[in-house]
Structure 1
């Protein structure tokens, strides 16, 4: 963690692929100089009744990834955020608008969100944030703080949960994968915390050296195949778990085929490994 550098900037000017104009993503977060997060921020009040302004933020993300726009910025991005002051949604590159999701935090207590939202900034920090802005912006901000504690919103929870340095690196390393068919995929919060619980359980032994078992329950179409791929990826990446073995038991052949294709497509198995593994199972 200490070997990484974290920066962000507002209104980053990025020339489009054809050199005919620029786009300005609202916020870009850099890790070691790589733009790993792109944020589009909108006003909370919408001109379209019943529609969140986050719809516009998502639309801009999707537009900016087109080949004649600024896809070269998104080539490095792992997380995309759409925020509007009250709400927040996240996705990754290539995610369709219907798959953008909310985040529900299970490890950070609400009191921590409140503390961070109302943390008093030093004069140096205030100057860094407001010296390049109209003086009214700083006055308005100070008036908000003087009125009492600020209310934590879903936008705040999303930003704090996903953009803490350790969580961002976790999401990049363990919970983002490239699928040959679906493209880049980022885990939902249920998958993240389910896999974290699995890793903790695998690393916990009783006095006899045994582990407890457990169940993660999925509904149909909720991403259980990708949960398996994310878990396998975590086992490979985490040095203390690299020698683990995964045995998948299914109750029908078509599910075996589906899972083997998902593992191979997600890069956990090569096609050759997939064939060898399933041949061994069939011969048992």
Structure 2
């Protein structure tokens, strides 16, 4: 629905017509409404939780950010990951709209999807695709500038999230289950693919036709 639009029907001049409604204007990021809220309260099934930071685009909570205090020696990026797992159990409705998740201890920062294990959360190591950020700069600052800027964020949601199905068989029962995994491109994949696409377009002399925006 986010990337392909939502099919709707409406009445005009006594007849039924079909159209597409676009939830996000991908072609012009500035046309969208971006809102970042700190300590956003979510109540579901009488459970009250407050994720640290939620990034909304046109009212949809696309990014959840869990931050841990770097001054607390027990607060690590892994504990931020564990907190996300608690949210997934307690307030699953918030994740219906989730594009991806960011976890950080204030310095180290990683991004991943709702189905990713901790070792699949990756750092975003450049703010501009020109050079990798200095190790003297906190990973969170680099991630915010490089990944969460409006253009990159919407491009990732539109083109760089895929779903992969895998089959698992229980050895004892023989029961087969199908698991769907959501995969987010790493920073080097994102920039490399975009460079390749741009080179191909230039070589072919192709001028793409913008998709409709509403």
Q: Is the structural similarity TM-score above 0.5?
A: yes
In the TM superposition, residue 62 of structure 1 has moved relative to its aligned partner by 1.8
> Residues of 1 paired with 2:36 and 2:188: CA distance?
28
Structure 2 unaligned regions, length at least 5: 1-28, 167-179
SS at match of 1:200: helix
- Give the aligned CA root-mean-square deviation in angstroms: 2.9
* 1:9 pairs with 2:37: yes
SS at match of 1:65: helix
In the TM superposition, residue 239 of structure 1 has moved relative to its aligned partner by 4.3
SS at match of 1:103: coil
* 1:174 pairs with 2:159: yes
Alignment of 1:83-162 (within 5 A): 83-105=104-126, 107-108=128-129, 152-162=137-147
Cα separation, partners in 2 of 1:14 and 1:107, compared to 1, 3 Å: same
In the TM superposition, residue 241 of structure 1 has moved relative to its aligned partner by 11
* 1:24 pairs with 2:45: no
Structure with the larger helix share:
1
* 1:78 pairs with 2:99: yes
Paired residues, number? 169
1:53 corresponds in structure 2 to: 76
SS at match of 1:2: helix
Contact 1:44/1:86 (CA < 8 Å) preserved in 2?
A: yes
* 1:42 pairs with 2:50: no
- TM-score between the two structures when normalised by the length of structure 1: 0.54
Residue-by-residue CA offset, 1:26-53 (whole Å, 9 max, x unaligned): 00000000000000011114545xxx71
Query: Of residues 196, 199, 202 in structure 2, which corresponds to 1:204?
Result: 202
SS at match of 1:204: helix
Contact 1:45/1:53 (CA < 8 Å) preserved in 2?
A: no
* 1:186 pairs with 2:195: no
Mark the structure with the bigger radius of gyration: 1
Residue-by-residue CA offset, 1:139-177 (whole Å, 9 max, x unaligned): xxxxxxxxxxxx731110011111100110001001012
- TM-score between the two structures when normalised by the length of structure 2: 0.70
> Residues of 2 paired with 1:47 and 1:167: CA distance?
33
Structure 1 unaligned regions, length at least 5: 115-150, 211-237, 243-284
> Residues of 1 paired with 2:153 and 2:127: CA distance?
16
> Residues of 2 paired with 1:108 and 1:168: CA distance?
14
